[in-house]
Structure 1
Amino acid sequence: MSIGISDEQVELADSLRKWAASLSPLEAVRAAEGDASAGFAAIWTAADEMGIAAIAVPESAGGGGGTVLDQAVALEACAHELVPGGLLGASLGSLLTGTPGRYGVQVRPGGVVWDGGNATEALVLDAGDLAPEVGIDLSARHARVSGAGGTGDAGDAGDERRRLLAVTLAAAEAAGVARWCLETAVDYAKVREQFGQKIGAFQAIKHLCAQMLETAESVTAAAWDAAVAADADDAEQWAFAVDVAQVTCFDGAVEVAKSCIQILGGIGFTYEHDAHLYLRRALTLRALVGSADTAAERVTAAAVKGVRRQVAVDLEGRDEAIRPDARATAERIAGLPADEQREALVAAGYLTPHWPTPYGLGADATTQIVIDQELGRAGVVRPDLVIAGWAVPTILAHGTDAQRERFVRPSLLGELTWCQLFSEPGSGSDLASLRTRAVRVEGGWSLTGQKVWTSVAERADWGICLARTDADVLQHKGITYFLVDMRAAGIEVRPLREITGEALFNEVFLDDVFVPDECVVAEPGDGWKLARTTLANERVAMASARLTKSVERAVELAATRDLGAVERAKVGRQVALATVCGLLGVRTTLRALGGHGPGVESSVAKLLGVRSRQDSSELVVELQGDALAVLDGIDKTSGDALAADIWEQFNTRCLSIAGGTTQILRNVAGERILGLPR
């Protein structure tokens, strides 16, 4: 997905990409190779006529009257086509001065003048003459200040604002570069054949493309947020968002560009292919903005001071009609004794407002967000439904009226606890190969088999269970979805001790367990379809400003220990990653508010969220040196902080395994999102 989320911004990006492609920009880049005086005049004239660099300049000054975000959308689209001629410097200078122009801008003293070789006006911090040069980015003509001395004509009083705007706009270009590289690599993987099949069918290629997707979406989200923050009136939040973008976008664009060449193979290494031109742009952008580690240190310093990214969502007045009732209901629930609040949430439909009535409200995205905001404001915390949050939606969507009456409300009230009987010793991620058998008997079915990795089975009242009812059809077609009474005869639960030393999971043995017909959901053979069921009205929620547990712990260590620069940078990178994960959720929510279904962000957020939690928990332990070598056991409840930190590090190892391994999820992303062959 591109930076723009609104329909207007998406349309702007689409039209600009088409316009840019019509200019044959890459032909112009190649034709001007080695010519330091090449100004790409024809392309600049076209860009000037379109007013591309002045989109965010006030109309009264001859600009487009748009926002910084609009300008970022335009730069991303033009970078996608690698439009030469100095749009980055011109956009930056136009924003700094409030006047359209063909600017070159020196962002820091002693530094290169961005697009100075194409400029008719220069905003420099050092006095001297501009000397245009051909750098590794063949689509740009940056310049040095020769004979520098004294203070130049800065043209803008705020050097910090200059830096923030520069990184914000450069991040948008990085997003465009990353997007082109991803699309080019995926398109090639769909058609290039080796060993008798499309290379996109090879798992190694599929995983590399999926990782490119993760990185490109991270770059896009961080670039979007920096532009959003630039338009808001909060200097601290903008600086934080810009530093997160600097940590994320430029290394990310370089990595995606390198991976593109890798997937293209020999053709990608040739000078004739365009891929190296994008790598050159990515490398140059990274060099222009400066060190990501320095930005990461600033992120750490800000986080230690309590700064967290908070993205305000403009509901455009759609909340006015529903907010008073939501506030009154939330305040009424908050005024009840704690042991009565859950029942009140259920009665109001506020525990699961996205579920259909009478168990929820069938609430749209706006209503869900307003309810969340008002419950948060009133201090009401929703109880976690845990496995019921997966079981009950299936019953709602596919169950009988009797099943809904029997199971839904008691589950919402917490009167029933559920477990999930899906995974087996020989069929974890490969769920379709499960071997638990269900045989027809009078009045129902007899289930025999073994399940594993089943949390809360030792105290669950009911389990959702997949079992094979027909061995003579394709694997995924012979599976049925059962509701199993965990107190039934023939069930044995054995705890499994994990690497934490605790028994959080269980093995469950089913030996001729009777399940009556009324506990089959939908029809026999529908189990595979039901296992993938989600309600059409998906849950929508704004991301919390708070970071994940281990990232917050890392920030705490940064605040209380004398960490070196390398360690502070590591903490900052984890803060940035966790922030980007939250931003992906925000972008998903904004799409829902605009009436669109989930984009790729939700899938990417799952993969990045696992990496964030695992890496940050590992970093927390690393920051505490060799003390773990003499620690007497690990126990999250012992009161020993290091013991709890190591427990968390060990426990998060399951995240890349449970619910489908990371590798399987990347296969899914490659096939279902990127369209790579199976």
Structure 2
Amino acid sequence: MSIGISDEHVELAASLRKWAASLDPVALVRAAEGESAERFDAAWKAVEEMGVHAIAVPESAGGGGGTVLDQAVALEACAHELVPGGLLGAAVGSLLTGQPDRYGVQVRPGGVVWDGGTAEEVLAPDGSHYEGQVQAVLGVDLSVRHGRAVDAHDIESGDRVRRTAVTLAAAEAAGVARWCLATAVEYAQVREQFGQKIGAFQAIKHLCAEMLETAEAVTAAAWDAAAAADAGDDEQWAFAVEVAAATCFDGAVEVAKACIQVLGGIGFTFEHDAHLYLRRALALRSLVGDSDDAAERLTAAAVGGVRRRVQLDLEGRDEAVRADIRTGVERIAALPEEQRRAAFVETGYLTPHWPAPYGLGADAVTQIVIDQELAGAGLTRPDIVIAGWALPTILEHGSAAQREQFVSPSLLGELVWCQLFSEPGAGSDLAALRTKAEKVDGGWKITGQKVWTSVAERADWGICLARTNPDAPKHKGISYFLVDMRAPGIEVRPLREITGKALFNEVFLDEVFVPDDMIVGEVDDGWKLARTTLANERVAMATSRLSKSTERAVELAAAGATPAQRVAVGHSIALSTVCSLLGVRSTMRSLAGLGPGAESSVAKLLGVRNRQDGAELVVALLGDKVALGDDDVRDDVWEMLNTRCLSIAGGTTQILRNVAGERILGLPR
């Protein structure tokens, strides 16, 4: 996904990429190598005629009258095609002054003048016009000419200049990352070695999937910096800018390097364009400054209580439903605690995305409004745990009798579920399961072993996959059963994990009888149903809180930390914020009526890393107290140990990267 989500932004980005490509910008860059920047004048003239640099300038001043986000979408598109000649500096300067021109911008006193070698006007760090001479320099980025200030002035820094520059530079970083990802994937889809496409090799697939993760993080942070600039809250914009500074530029460099790695020898040649994008990424990173400095500023802001709060613009679509929802929420809030769950179920607010009578069949807007009103009232939905996977399958594929027997009691908390999918020899490869179900009079007898089954020790019912046709292909011949966990022949044995506790179980089934009416859907059709169970998701409002461990790290940093530790905490804050932003962007796609994008898959991968790394960071911040196991560190150590399961449960990180490579990027199996 690019920065733009709305139809207007998607169309703007597509049209500008097409226009930019028509300039043959890479040819201009190559032709200007070792020469002055005059060869870029043709590109600048086209930019000026299109007004690309002045999209966010008021129409009264000759600009496009757009938003900062509009400008960011345009810069991302142009960076994707490597448009040369100082577009970034011109866009920054035009936005700051409100007057379109070909600007160079000095972000730090005495520092490089961004695009100063092609500028007609130069802005100082405080936003004033720079009066000294600027010497054009050919640096690492062959597509621009930055400038060295000849007559330096003692001018103070200006926050607005830096924030604007970082905001728009992040958009360019997103464009670079997007091109590198697309180029690597396209090459991996067609390049053959050892008799097959290299994209089929797991090492290449994982490398491309990791590029996707990084590119999505860069895009989300760049989008948010521009959106925050438009929102008008300087504190929130400053926070979003630091997240972008800590994320986008290192990220763009990493994706550019990975692109060259996927390309192999051809990527190392001067003739291939990949190095030009790496050069642009390196230059952007050097101009913006050390990401560690941004991370330290994030820590300071977080210790001071600042968190990123993204406000979704529902464009008035909530007006028709908000009053009734608020009344319903107020009624629940007025009830005693023990009566609220029933009220959640009765109103449909527990599972609003489910069809009536168990939910509201709510659209994305209604779901968001319910979340907002519940949060405003301080109400939290009861967690239905595994029922959240079992019941959607019963609703979609089950019989009327199954829906009647199981759905409402489960929502009310009267029935507890477990999931009998994983096996010692199957794990994530559900098609390899060996648990068998043999037909008998009136039903089936199931025999086998399941593992990693949470809450099995107290579950009333289990959703179970078992092989009903051993002669069918491995993805077929599997059926979906509802198993009474109190039935004869079931033995539950606790599994003690690395934390010392037993959260999971082994479950042994020895000729457990399951009646015919406890099969969901058709016999031998369980594979399709299992995918329904695992794929069910709803639209949710993003929280402004950081992840649990990151919040704990901020708490420890506030109590005292070394400079290096504060930097580490800041990077954790940036990653945790990006994970929330991916959720916001996924929600916005739903509000726009679009299908799920890459954000949801990437959010799981980055979310796992965020929680694991955050928990490890907390333990590191505790120092030698960890070795003693004192009471005040025991919970933190438990959390670190427990999060190791996150990259295994529900499909290992490696399996998920295979899935991302094949289903999102289109790499061969």
TM range (shorter): over 0.9
Matches within 5 A, 1:285-434: 285-434=284-433
CA distance in 2 between partners of 1:491 and 1:535 (Å) = 24
Match of 1:645 among 636, 640, 649: 636
CA distance in 2 between partners of 1:60 and 1:473 (Å) = 71
Match of 1:617 among 615, 618, 625: 615
CA distance in 2 between partners of 1:494 and 1:148 (Å) = 74
CA distance in 1 between partners of 2:602 and 2:638 (Å) = 26
Provide the residue aligned with 2:62 in structure 1: 62
Provide the residue aligned with 1:548 in structure 2: 547
Query: What value does the CA root-mean-square deviation take over the aligned residues?
Result: 1.2
Provide the residue aligned with 1:195 in structure 2: 194
Deviation at 1:38, TM superposition (A): 3.1
Q: Secondary structure at the match of 2:152?
A: coil
Provide the residue aligned with 2:114 in structure 1: 114
Q: Secondary structure at the match of 1:572?
A: helix
- Say if 2:89 and 2:105, in contact at 8 Å, map to a contact too: yes
Q: Secondary structure at the match of 1:581?
A: helix
Deviation at 1:536, TM superposition (A): 9.4
Provide the residue aligned with 2:625 in structure 1: 627
CA distance in 1 between partners of 2:462 and 2:359 (Å) = 23
- Say if 1:39 and 1:118, in contact at 8 Å, map to a contact too: no
- Say if 2:51 and 2:64, in contact at 8 Å, map to a contact too: yes
Q: Secondary structure at the match of 2:649?
A: coil
Q: Secondary structure at the match of 2:320?
A: coil
2:215 pairs with 1:224? no
2:646 pairs with 1:655? yes
Deviation at 1:37, TM superposition (A): 3.8
Which stretch shifts more, 614-623 or 29-38?
A: 29-38
Q: What letter corresponds to residue 650 of structure 2 in structure 1?
A: G
- Say if 1:362 and 1:537, in contact at 8 Å, map to a contact too: no
**Cα pair distance change 1:536/1:547, threshold 3 Å:** closer
Q: What letter corresponds to residue 22 of structure 2 in structure 1?
A: S
CA distance in 2 between partners of 1:516 and 1:115 (Å) = 74
Provide the residue aligned with 2:20 in structure 1: 20
Q: For 1:142-183, what per-residue CA distance to the aligned partner results, in whole angstroms no more than 9, with x for missing partners?
A: 0001132445xx9xxx81000000000000000000000000
Q: What letter corresponds to residue 638 of structure 2 in structure 1?
A: W
Q: Secondary structure at the match of 2:38?
A: coil
CA distance in 2 between partners of 1:346 and 1:335 (Å) = 16
Q: Secondary structure at the match of 2:475?
A: helix
Deviation at 1:566, TM superposition (A): 1.1
Q: Secondary structure at the match of 2:401?
A: helix
Q: Give me the identity figure in percent.
A: 75
Q: What TM-score results when the alignment is normalised by the length of structure 1?
A: 0.97
- Say if 2:28 and 2:39, in contact at 8 Å, map to a contact too: no
Q: What letter corresponds to residue 653 of structure 2 in structure 1?
A: T
Matches within 5 A, 1:149-298: 149-151=153-155, 159-298=158-297
Q: Secondary structure at the match of 1:495?
A: strand
Match of 1:567 among 541, 565, 568: 565
- Say if 2:143 and 2:280, in contact at 8 Å, map to a contact too: yes
CA distance in 2 between partners of 1:542 and 1:188 (Å) = 38
Deviation at 1:588, TM superposition (A): 0.5
CA distance in 1 between partners of 2:477 and 2:4 (Å) = 44
**Cα pair distance change 1:370/1:438, threshold 3 Å:** same
CA distance in 2 between partners of 1:47 and 1:230 (Å) = 23
Deviation at 1:497, TM superposition (A): 0.3
Q: What letter corresponds to residue 659 of structure 2 in structure 1?
A: V
Q: Secondary structure at the match of 1:40?
A: helix
Q: For 1:422-455, what per-residue CA distance to the aligned partner results, in whole angstroms no more than 9, with x for missing partners?
A: 0000000111100000000000000000000000
CA distance in 2 between partners of 1:20 and 1:149 (Å) = 37
- Say if 2:389 and 2:534, in contact at 8 Å, map to a contact too: no
**Cα pair distance change 1:5/1:354, threshold 3 Å:** same
**Cα pair distance change 1:650/1:150, threshold 3 Å:** closer
Q: What letter corresponds to residue 377 of structure 1 in structure 2?
A: G
2:459 pairs with 1:492? no
Provide the residue aligned with 2:575 in structure 1: 577
Q: For 1:319-347, what per-residue CA distance to the aligned partner results, in whole angstroms no more than 9, with x for missing partners?
A: 11100100000000110111111101101
Q: For 1:192-216, what per-residue CA distance to the aligned partner results, in whole angstroms no more than 9, with x for missing partners?
A: 0000000000000000000000000
- Say if 1:397 and 1:535, in contact at 8 Å, map to a contact too: no
CA distance in 1 between partners of 2:37 and 2:240 (Å) = 36
CA distance in 2 between partners of 1:370 and 1:149 (Å) = 53
CA distance in 2 between partners of 1:452 and 1:37 (Å) = 66
**Cα pair distance change 1:319/1:672, threshold 3 Å:** same
Provide the residue aligned with 1:145 in structure 2: 149
Deviation at 1:626, TM superposition (A): 1.6
Q: Secondary structure at the match of 2:319?
A: coil
CA distance in 2 between partners of 1:2 and 1:190 (Å) = 21
- Say if 1:491 and 1:509, in contact at 8 Å, map to a contact too: yes
Deviation at 1:598, TM superposition (A): 1.1
Deviation at 1:122, TM superposition (A): 1.1
- Say if 1:127 and 1:148, in contact at 8 Å, map to a contact too: no
CA distance in 2 between partners of 1:149 and 1:499 (Å) = 61
CA distance in 1 between partners of 2:123 and 2:39 (Å) = 18
Q: For 1:209-238, what per-residue CA distance to the aligned partner results, in whole angstroms no more than 9, with x for missing partners?
A: 000000000000000000000001210000
Q: For 1:606-642, what per-residue CA distance to the aligned partner results, in whole angstroms no more than 9, with x for missing partners?
A: 000000000000000001112222226xxxxxxx231
Give structure 1 stretches of 5+ with no counterpart: 633-639
Q: What letter corresponds to residue 572 of structure 1 in structure 2?
A: G
CA distance in 1 between partners of 2:632 and 2:68 (Å) = 44
Deviation at 1:64, TM superposition (A): 0.1
- Say if 1:36 and 1:117, in contact at 8 Å, map to a contact too: no
Provide the residue aligned with 2:664 in structure 1: 673
CA distance in 2 between partners of 1:309 and 1:423 (Å) = 38
Q: For 1:466-519, what per-residue CA distance to the aligned partner results, in whole angstroms no more than 9, with x for missing partners?
A: 000011111010110000000000000000000000000000000000000010
Number of residues of Structure 1 aligned to a counterpart in Structure 2:
665
CA distance in 1 between partners of 2:117 and 2:47 (Å) = 17
CA distance in 2 between partners of 1:642 and 1:63 (Å) = 57
CA distance in 2 between partners of 1:308 and 1:641 (Å) = 26
**Cα pair distance change 1:37/1:437, threshold 3 Å:** closer
Matches within 5 A, 1:468-507: 468-507=467-506
Q: What letter corresponds to residue 132 of structure 1 in structure 2?
A: A
**Cα pair distance change 1:218/1:150, threshold 3 Å:** closer
CA distance in 1 between partners of 2:305 and 2:625 (Å) = 28
Q: What letter corresponds to residue 256 of structure 1 in structure 2?
A: V
CA distance in 1 between partners of 2:416 and 2:264 (Å) = 53
Provide the residue aligned with 2:508 in structure 1: 509
CA distance in 2 between partners of 1:542 and 1:326 (Å) = 15
Deviation at 1:376, TM superposition (A): 1.5
Q: Secondary structure at the match of 1:226?
A: helix
- Say if 2:390 and 2:533, in contact at 8 Å, map to a contact too: no
Q: For 1:333-365, what per-residue CA distance to the aligned partner results, in whole angstroms no more than 9, with x for missing partners?
A: 110111111101101111000000110000000
Deviation at 1:538, TM superposition (A): 4.5
Deviation at 1:39, TM superposition (A): 5.0
- Say if 2:437 and 2:446, in contact at 8 Å, map to a contact too: yes
- Say if 1:127 and 1:145, in contact at 8 Å, map to a contact too: no
Q: What TM-score results when the alignment is normalised by the length of structure 2?
A: 0.98
CA distance in 2 between partners of 1:149 and 1:5 (Å) = 42
Provide the residue aligned with 2:139 in structure 1: 135
CA distance in 1 between partners of 2:312 and 2:70 (Å) = 17
- Say if 1:446 and 1:515, in contact at 8 Å, map to a contact too: yes
